[in-house]
Amino acid sequence: MFKRWVVYLSSVVGGLLLVGGVLGALVWALISARLPSLDVLTDYQPKLPLRVLADDGTTLAEFGEERRSVVKLAQVPLHVRQAILAAEDSNFYEHSGVDWVAVLRAGYTNVTTGATQGAGTITMQVARNFFLTREKTLLRKANEVALTFKIEQELTKDQILELYINQIFLGQRSFGFAAAARAYYGKPLEKITIPEAAMLAGLPKAPSTFNPFVNPKRAALRQQYVLRRMHELGYIKDDEYKSAQAAPSTVKADAGPTVHSEYLNEMVRQFVFDLVGESAYTRGLTVTTTIRARDQEAAYQAIRRGVLDYERRQSFRGPEGYVELPAQSKGAESKEALAEALEPAFAQFPDADDLLTAVVLDANAKRVIVTRGEDEVYTLEGESIRFVRNALADGAPSGERLRRGAVVRITQDDKGAFRITQMPQVEAALVAMDPKDGAVRSLVGGFDFSKNQYNHVTQASRQPGSSFKPFIYSAALEKGITASTVINDAPLFFSAAQTGGEEWEPKNYDGKFDGPMRVRSALAKSKNMVSIRILRSIGPSYAQDYVTKFGFDAKQHPAYLTLALGAGQTNPMQMAAAYSVFANGGYRVKPYFIKTVVDTKGTVIFEETPAAAGKDAEQAIDPRNAFIMTTLMRDVVRAGTATKALSLGRGDLAGKTGTTNDSHDAWFAGYNASLVGVAWVGFDQPKSLGERETGGGVALPIWINYMKTALRGVAETPLKPPSGVVSAMSGGDPSGLTDTAGVSDWYYAEFPPKQFVDPLTGNSGSRNKQDDEVRQQLF
């Protein structure tokens, strides 16, 4: 009877096992048949951000939702790979995709302790990350196992590990260990140390829980576990283990690219988006720009310094805001209450690079105590509070007074001491380009991109003021006026009938008139009356047409006498391109800032082919004209309104300052044979910069501070006269009114030095007895 039951039960169990096996095989066959192709793995195309590079390969920016850098397995340091295996799958190179020992161990732990322990291998994680959802069902698990076996059959272990290293999410928007190395340590993967590798390897299990920024204690415990496993597996020696255990945390938030090029980056982003659309942010395109990283950072720092120097000459406008702070008292509760009260201020008024947000704790006429948080309290006295002394007076208006709870800005001086400053309202811009082909070397479109994204280099439309005069003088050279022509710097008055509107009585900036002077001196001293007389002589319509040779739009520069004073509209980029014509010998080049756009396979999507001066660029003006104008503008630097530039210790600099009516705009455009730079300062809503603020005082220092870096190591290029230019002794002022005997100057060969513009009538012609008599009578 017993044997019969045994046979019966055995038959039933055997039958069930057979049916289960058949069904299992059928299910496995169905699942295997429905498995996706592994093309996504064999032809791995992750979502890679748009990367912007300087011309030397320095990273300027990345655009994309995901941080990701794809690396080959051979590029991953051995100790990083070992840390990953120790943390995630120490038997990776032994099992066939599923670690059955780990599965049994995890099952035993789950049953005996009730704790949940996973047994997923690296291959299973690859299957899960590429093909499956996170739902926990038997069908999904079966799909995962089937995919795992398929991956193991079609890919090598090294290929699987490489996919894992590049695809796994590690927090901080980082996908892959290369991106995580920069996100958590601010350096490339190849420079990651053993303890840092252990920290990164501990992240895949729970990126949020073990994020060292969010949960440093939990992250440290996980790191120690990974180090212990590395030691147990023989990956690191005893001394390496002890050293790694004791190593202090080196976690460092990724500050991103160290070069400030935000305005340029945005120009690149817009260009590439227009080129390829939304895929710009996922195709892994690399844009190589013309920007020089060192010079770009110098431009940014020059703008910051120039604007903040200007701000120190202004009045303190008052705190940016106020916060209610708890009454002063001691104890832990007081510190917590203060920290809670400070939080809204720091959220509403974030730091702006070196302009740090601080809140006043106490203030009187002799000292101000400010805080940036519990561990940062500063007592400021003397020069550190001089800028805000009016706001400390008893009679200061309530909205401007410094008191407890006032939100202010502090910054460090060259000696490291903090002082109170303020967030500028004024804007500034600087652009520099190579005059030989138009390659933009530096571009800063404003003081702070986070505050104002308006790009003043390309989008602003401003009056150039006296920085436009060289183009009028260049036009005059083509009409027979020479550098030694004498013109009268005397008052002018135009009636309403002459102007067709209101009466106009222009003035020189200093309000003085120096009488007859040579054109060379007039430009160096930026004499408005001489410029107007020159324009009246050659004709406004002729000048309006002539300036289009430099790339200016005639419609933006109406044919009125005010054109002589730069009353038209332009922007720094147009000015840089226009001054390049003088710098390169008369050729018109087009500014460009992108060299190439390539995809991940090296296929060139876009490549700029710039026209070069002296080769295929358009000849805009006579080379002799460009040469003489450069000699004129070198005198602006040597003895005119831009003598501050002599501090650079170079003899090859030329340029022109510019200050518009009521000092609404301040300019300096300067160059040598290798670089053209234009600096501008003004308010978005035009208003006076101040009665004594000029292009030479506001914009020129920015240009100088930039050129200190940009021209470092650049040899001076001799200025060689082109054919058709002659040097001659002037033989004296043709008007007979000034003594210029013995002064050498340059002329077109066909225009003799005796040509002049009558200082009284503005007409050009030859000297004669009647003219002499007229001049003698009126002077």
**Cα 128 to Cα 143: distance, rounded to the nearest angstrom:** 9
Distance of CA 625 to the CA centre of its chain: 36
Tokens in use for 560?
């009125």
**In this structure, what are the phi and psi dihedrals at residue 477, rounded to the nearest 5 degrees?**
-60, -35
**Residues forming a β-bridge with 516:** 488
Q: Is 32 a catalytic residue?
A: no
**Cα 565 to Cα 258: distance, rounded to the nearest angstrom:** 40
What is the end-to-end Cα distance of the chain in Å, rounded?
Answer: 147
**Cα 441 to Cα 301: distance, rounded to the nearest angstrom:** 15
- With contact defined as beta carbons under 8 Å apart, do 705 and 305 qualify? yes
- With contact defined as beta carbons under 8 Å apart, do 233 and 201 qualify? no
Could you say which DSSP state residue 247 is in? P
**Residues forming a β-bridge with 410:** 356, 420
Which residue among 466, 526, 663, 730 is the active-site one? 466
Which residue among 88, 144, 162, 262 is the active-site one? 88
Tokens in use for 502?
């209101």
Contacts (Cβ under 8 Å, ≥6 apart) of 708: 298, 648
Q: Is 88 a catalytic residue?
A: yes
What is each CA distance from 74 to 41, 85, 647, in whole angstroms? Answer: 18, 16, 52
- With contact defined as beta carbons under 8 Å apart, do 468 and 528 qualify? no
3-state secondary structure of 427: strand
Helices (H) and strands (E) in the chain, counts: 23, 26
Distance of CA 765 to the CA centre of its chain: 52
**Cα 721 to Cα 735: distance, rounded to the nearest angstrom:** 27
Distance of CA 19 to the CA centre of its chain: 69
- With contact defined as beta carbons under 8 Å apart, do 688 and 426 qualify? no
Q: Show contacts of 637-644: CB within 8 Å, 24+ apart.
A: 637/670, 638/524, 639/524, 640/523, 640/524, 640/525, 640/526, 641/524, 641/525, 641/526, 641/694, 641/695, 641/696, 642/668, 642/670, 642/696, 642/700, 644/696, 644/700, 644/701, 644/704
What is each CA distance from 121 to 54, 88, 89, in whole angstroms? Answer: 41, 7, 6
**Cα 480 to Cα 753: distance, rounded to the nearest angstrom:** 10
Q: Of 690, 707, 751, 708, which is closest to residue 726 (Cα–Cα)?
A: 751
- With contact defined as beta carbons under 8 Å apart, do 68 and 176 qualify? yes
| Catalytic annotation, residues | 88, 466
